[in-house]
Amino acid sequence: MKLELKDDTTRRERELNIFRKMKKLVYYLRLFPAVFWLLVFLVLPLSVMFIYSFWTMVRFELIPTWTLKNYLDIFVKAEGLYIKLLFKSIGMATAVTLGAIALAYPAAYYISTRGGKYKYVLLNLIMTPYLVSWVITIFGWRMVIGYTGLVNTVLMSVGLISEPMRLWGNWMTVIFVLIVSWTGWLVLPIFVSLEKIDRTLLEAGEDLGASPLENFRKITLPLSMPGLLIATFFVLIPTFGEFVAPLLAGGTSGAMIGTAIEATFKRMHNWPFGSAMAFLLVAIALITSLVLIRKAGLRTLMESL
Amino acid sequence: MLVIYLPLLTLLAFSFNNSLSVGFPWRGFTLRWWEKFFSDPVALTAVKNSFVAAVAVAVVATLMGLGVAFPLVRRGFRGQNVLLSSLLVPIAVPSLLIGISLFSLLRVQLGLELSLFTLAIGHILVALPYSSLVLMARLIGFDRALEEAAQDLGATGFTTFRKITFPIIRPGIFVSMFLAFIISLEDAVIANFLVGSDLTVPMYVFGQLRRWEGLNTAMALSSFMAVIALAVACLFLIRAIGPRLRRPSKD
């Protein structure tokens, strides 16, 4: 009798185990679409492009030469034009990031401290212009600061200038447009991290005799750092590869590495070279991202969204 | 801060300008360009395409995001860090490269016809990290005790989801959809590579800007998009200030 009972339990246990395993599988199945997507559409194509960067392109045909020439070419080709362009782009991207943060921080601070019940309305208002495409926004800016644009016409009719200023079509235009466009996007992460600061800490600071400025410097600023770093991540990295703005608004002096990469692919049909440049950019971007995210923490990244 | 609205308003104003050139001088008010826009099948199709794609991307990206958010936040599993890092990659890699690599895969290697469908693939890829992060953030602050309480009271798995989990993550779902929608609607880079004969709004304007013909139709189109954005903005404003205006009549 005792032996029979033992057999029963073991079989049931086994059935239960299989059932549990199946449930587990079904649960994890929901990961499948995203994983599939990432693998097939991100990892696979990028790996292929990476491999291409080591090959050569001869008359529209890719030849598996396995060489480092493409990467070396970046430094050497056209008298170092490309490497200069790369540094210039990084510089411009940094300028844009600093500018955008400088504008976004006060705005976020204002909304966080004085927003009251209009906080979320203001945030929504800031985000709505992004419904309009990037290209269209640049188009609009052209109407404002272009040769025949709003600014010039107003200034001329008032008499401050006698001739329209050439504000459009150079590197400053690109930086300006980019800064103005990114500022709105940044207000959100900075706002979130400002909101999270425990107000009682500030009150404690006051009680201990700190002036508002000191309070800001010693409490608010350091505590909002993670949000600031995340904001930097969101602006800096994508701006490295920006090519719409330089293309439409940059003219000759405003070109960035993005325009060069696009031209290499579309017009010169030199895929390996373009790919090499792109991946060099990616490498720089990844290193920068790692540094930034390490310092800020993944949680802050998620919270800012 | 409201400087952001400047280009949009200017575009709108100029779309009524009765002049062939873009900008000043002002040559009279006209609806000519708007008529041209509304009767231009290419432009109208572009608008329809953009919206259709954006909605599709929003839905799919959010669903996928949900699929990853729950396991990542609630149950650890092997390789979860790899997944998390891979999710961040589309943000770090310039859209340029993503566009090119997908072009290479889909068109060159698989020989697929470029279309709205291929475009959606690219957009979903780019939107996925944002969707996932938003939803994960929402889940992290979720108090599981609420779910357990519901189950103690006898709710089945599905009912718990419907009445407790879903309402709490609902804002996150909206944000994720909104974000993905915007990302898809406004992208021009990936569209540049992945859309074939189907056009989207950014591509249409981009093309016109580079070619200098029919520029004014592009103006009307752009203004149209700007109007939509402004309308949404006004909607927000009304919702916020509206209640205040109603109060005096109550007294």
Q: How far is B205 from chain A (nearest CA, A)?
A: 7
C-alpha to C-alpha distance for A285 and A234, rounded to whole angstroms = 11
For B42-83, how does the pLDDT look when each residue is reduced to its tens digit (9 = 90+)?
777 777 888 888 898 899 988 888 888 887 777 777 777 788
In-domain check, residue B96: yes
3-state class (DSSP) for residue A60:
coil
Q: What is d(CA A73, CA A222) in angstroms, rounded to the nearest whole number?
A: 43
- B248, part of any domain: no
Domain assignment present for residue B161? The answer is yes
Least CB-CB distance to B229: which of A44, A131, A153? A131
CA distances from residue A2 to A7, A10, A76, A222, B67 in whole angstroms, order as listed: 9, 13, 84, 69, 47
Give yes or no for a contact between B97 and A241, defined as CB atoms under 8 angstroms apart: yes
> Could you tell me if residue B225 is inside a domain?
no
Closest of A205, A189, A197 to residue A221, by C-alpha:
A197
Under 8 Å between Cβ of A149 and B28: no
Q: Hey, is A56 helix, strand or coil?
A: strand
| A 147-186 residues with CB < 8 A to B | 147-150, 152-153, 180-181, 183-184
Contact B97 A241 (CB under 8 A): yes
Chain-chain contact of B128 with A34 (C-beta, under 8 angstroms): yes
CB proximity under 8 Å: B 63-82 to A: 63-68, 70-71, 75, 77
Whole-angstrom Cα distance, residue B243 to residue B150? Answer: 35
One digit per residue, the tens of pLDDT, for chain A of length 305 reads 455 555 556 777 877 888 888 877 777 777 788 888 888 888 888 888 888 877 777 777 777 777 777 777 777 776 677 778 888 888 888 888 888 888 888 878 877 777 666 677 777 777 777 777 777 777 777 777 777 666 777 777 777 766 666 767 777 878 888 887 888 788 877 777 777 777 777 777 777 777 777 777 777 777 777 778 777 888 888 888 787 778 777 766 767 777 778 777 777 777 788 888 888 888 888 888 777 777 666 655 555 55
Q: Token pair of A205, please?
A: 């600071």
Tokens of A51: 């491999």
The answer to whether residue B194 is domain-embedded is yes
In a domain, B10, yes or no: no
What is the distance between the alpha carbons of residues A300 and A302, in angstroms, rounded to a whole number? 5
Q: What structural domains does chain A harbor?
A: 44-304 (1.10.3720.10)
Cβ contact, residue pair B189, A243, below 8 Å: yes
pLDDT digits (tens, 9 = 90+) for A290-301: 777 776 666 555
Identity (one letter) of the amino acid at B231?
Answer: A
Distance, in Å, from the CA atom of A260 to the CA atom of B2, rounded to the nearest integer, reads 33
Q: Which one, of B30, B4, B15, lies nearest residue B223 by Cα?
A: B15
Contact present, B121 and B90 (Cβ < 8 Å): no
Q: Rounded distance, CA B12 to CA B225, Å?
A: 9
> Number of folded domains in chain B?
1
How far is residue A130's CA from residue B66's CA, in Å, rounded to a whole number? 24
Is residue B147 a part of any domain in this protein? yes
How far is it, in rounded angstroms, from Cα A40 to Cα A242?
25
Q: Give pLDDT < 50 ranges for chain B.
A: 18-25, 246-251
Question: Which residues in B lie closer than 8 A to residue A268 (C-beta atoms)?
Answer: none
What is the separation of C-alpha B139 from the centre of its chain, rounded to a whole number of angstroms? 22
| pLDDT at position B171 | 78
Tokens 């800007």 -> residue: B209
For A63, the 3-state DSSP assignment is: strand
Q: How many beta-carbon contacts under 8 Å exist across A and B?
A: 239
Residue in A closest to B132 by C-alpha: A302
Q: Whole domain around residue B40: which residue ranges?
A: 31-211
- Residue B103's domain is classified under what CATH number? 1.10.3720.10
Q: DSSP character for A62?
A: E
CA–CA dist B121, A157 (Å, integer)? 50
Rounded to whole angstroms, the Cα distance separating B85 from B77 reads: 14
* ipTM of this complex prediction, to 2 decimal places: 0.73
